[in-house]
Amino acid sequence: MEIIEESRIPVMEHFYTLQGEGQWAGSPAYFIRTAGCDVGCHWCDVKESWTVKEEQYVKVEEVVKLARDSKAPIVVVTGGEPTMYDLGPLTRSIKTVGLRIHIETSGVYPFSGEFDWITLSPKKFKASREEYYSLAQELKVVIYTKHDLKWAEKEAAKCNPQKTRFYLQPEWSRKDRVGLIIDYIKANPHWRLSIQSHKYINIP
């Protein structure tokens, strides 16, 4: 099948691994991590993704070919903040080669592209746009302090409970708080636990 789109996008890194988090944890997936983010989470574990360098711009066609050749059934577009860019050309090209396409976003820029799975991971530091709450199949809230649980409920209330699955994920440096989150989920069973399983087994 032809890859039809000619466009460029800044990519910090791309790699074939297993999805570590959320609903699709354990699934083989090709990650495309765009460069650039202005959300400013103080606990961000990919701060090197915040800036964009000219040399990071790659042809969409090239990165899609690599994803196709990897044999991955799923491409995950993440960041950085991928919605800073028009994702139409990238997602159309990925569809053209017959792969599923997922996105993980904080939803702070207008939505673009065609996705099979949308993970909204809202951040306190910059509000998500309203459109993402009705689009999200998965809401993943990172828990840094116990007060974040209250905020997580406010975010969940904006979603469609018939469509969206709700996940609480301990921030990696606070993973000792997982017991608190487990207790919370047991008392509030519309939530599920997401852990960064890739970090436990030391894969990207």
Asked if 37 interacts with ligand SF4 (CB under 6 A), we say yes
3-state secondary structure (DSSP) of residue 188:
coil
Tell me whether the omega of the peptide bond preceding residue 22 falls within 30 degrees of 0, making it cis: no
Our CB check for ligand SF4 shows the closer of 40 and 73 to be: 40
Q: How far is the CB of 33 from ligand SF4 (least distance, A)?
A: 9
d(CA 177, CA 174): 6
Stretch that binds ligand SF4, among 3-11, 14-22, 40-48, 55-63 (CB under 6 A): 40-48
Asked if 140 interacts with ligand SF4 (CB under 6 A), we say no
Q: Are 106 and 122 in contact (CB under 8 A)?
A: yes
* Cβ at position 38, least distance to ligand SF4 in Å: 8
In this chain, which of 44, 58, 66, 178 binds ligand SF4, going by CB under 6 A? 44
User: Which positions from 72 through 131 interact with ligand SF4, judged by CB under 6 A?
Assistant: 79-81, 106, 123
Q: Which is nearer to ligand SF4, 38 or 183 (CB)?
A: 38
Q: Give min distance, CB of 13 to ligand SF4, in A.
A: 13
Continuous H helices in the chain: 60-69, 88-96, 131-135, 147-156, 178-187, 197-200
Between CA 122 and CA 197 the distance in angstroms is: 20
Question: Of 37 and 135, which has the nearer Cβ to ligand SF4?
Answer: 37
Shortest approach of ligand SF4 to residue 118 CB, angstroms?
15
Residue (99 or 118) nearer to ligand SF4, CB: 118
Q: Segment contacting ligand SF4 (CB under 6 A): 33-41, 54-62, 83-91, 158-166?
A: 33-41
Q: Whose structure tokens read 């919605």?
A: 83
**β-bridge mates for residue 13, sequence order:** 33
What are the distances in angstroms from CA 70 to CA 16, 29, 64, 91, 181? Answer: 7, 9, 10, 17, 36
Q: Binding of ligand SF4 at residue 164 (CB under 6 A)? A: no
- 112: phi then psi, degrees, rounded to nearest 5: -150, 160
Enumerate binding residues for ligand SF4 (CB under 6 A): 37, 39-41, 44, 46, 49, 79-81, 106, 123
